[in-house]
Amino acid sequence: MCRWLAYSGDEIFLEELLFKPENSLVEQSLHATEAKVATNGDGFGVGWYGQKEIPGLYREIMPAWNDCNLQHLANQIRSSHFFAHVRASTGTATSRANCHPFAYDNWMGMHNGQVGGYEHFRRPLEAHITDEHYAKRMGTTDSEALFYMLFKLGLKRDPVNAIRTMVEIVTSLQKQYHITEAFRCTMAITDGTRIYCLRYSSDRYAPSLYWRHQDGRLVVVSEPLTDDHTDWNKVPESHILIANRADVEEIVAL
């Protein structure tokens, strides 16, 4: 289980959300409160849109709480649209390529959760990645596979449908391979403008996912950044939150 954060709104320094809040994402890397594992110390990453169409990525295998470079970058880099992720490995290696977010062209994605039985159907799952995208796959995680699958499933034309189909493929593979472990996930995808955030589980124990819209700023996050949860809304299970920059347009059932 990992923890992540998606932001869209005014241009802010990354540290505003990564370091400053009471329960900032970096704080969650050390003491997550709503996760199965409290420590998310198996690497981290941040991806942000700046003056170019493609996002920048900074991913590192050290714990986020302990990375002086991250402090500097979060203090210097401003962005109006960014993702950040702290990782608790569920078995795959700790390498930069296995850290989130993943990026391809102008798209970016990140994930939290478990794909029960992944080791049993990794190759048939990867069969849903096009050759073009498979050649770019640098890591070995289920998360990166899910990200690249979406492109073949029509991400650019109809993201919600691509996400739905991805969920169907995973659950269908789990049946086919007689997997009893659940598929649980929260996932965020963006093209640099719109954000799609899925909360799903095959067994009604989806990882937590919250959002807050305040002063023109949208934050979607695994756990509220403040001890006071008043302003935070839950994304319901089996729903996708869709935002156009900071505006939450819809929260649709899967």
Is residue 227 near a second copy by the rule CB under 8 A? no
Does 139 participate in binding a second copy (rule CB under 8 A)? yes
**CA gap 51, 55 in Å, rounded:** 9
- Which residue from 25, 73, 146, 167 is in contact with a second copy, where contact means CB under 8 A? 73
Note whether 177 binds a second copy by CB under 8 A. no
Cα–Cα distance measured from residue 18 to residue 27, given in angstroms and rounded to the nearest whole number:
8
Both tokens of residue 126?
Answer: 């990867």
139/207 with CB nearer a second copy: 139
Are the C-beta atoms of residues 9 and 75 closer than 8 Å to each other? Answer: no
Place of tokens 């989130």: 100
Give me the least distance between CB of 213 and a second copy, in Å please. Answer: 26
The interface mask with a second copy, positions 13-32, x = CB under 8 A, is: -----------------x--
State the residue for tokens 């700790």: 94
Q: For residues 147 and 200, which CB has a smaller minimum distance to a second copy in the complex?
A: 147
The residue within the footprint of a second copy, chosen from 12, 16, 134, 201 (CB under 8 A), is 134
Q: Which is nearer to a second copy, 124 or 236 (CB)?
A: 124
Closest by Cα among 229, 195, 197, 231 to 213: 231
Q: Which residue's structure tokens are 């719109």?
A: 194
- Cβ-based nearer residue to a second copy, 87 or 212: 87
Amino acid at 124: P
CA distance 242 to 32: 25
Give the whole-angstrom CA distance, residue 28 versus residue 173.
32
Q: Which of 36, 53, 66, 236 binds a second copy (CB under 8 A)?
A: 66
* Nearest distance from C-beta of residue 124 to a second copy, angstroms: 10
C-alpha torsion angle, residues 86, 192, 228, 64 (rounded to 10): 20
Q: Which of 12, 16, 34, 137 binds a second copy (CB under 8 A)?
A: 137
- For residue 199, the number of C-alpha atoms closer than 13 Å in the C-beta half-sphere is 22
Near a second copy by CB under 8 A: residue from 20, 36, 69, 252: 69
Q: Which of 20, 36, 53, 93 binds a second copy (CB under 8 A)?
A: 93
Residue 25 neighbours by CB distance under 10 Å: 27
Among 34, 80, 96, 237, binds a second copy (CB under 8 A): 96
Distance in Å, CB of 191 to a second copy, minimum: 17
Q: Cα separation of 78 and 10, whole Å? A: 9
Which residues in this chain contact a second copy in the complex, by CB under 8 A?
A: 30, 38-39, 41-42, 48, 50-52, 56-63, 65-66, 68-69, 72-73, 75-78, 89, 92-97, 119-120, 122-123, 126, 131, 134-135, 137-140
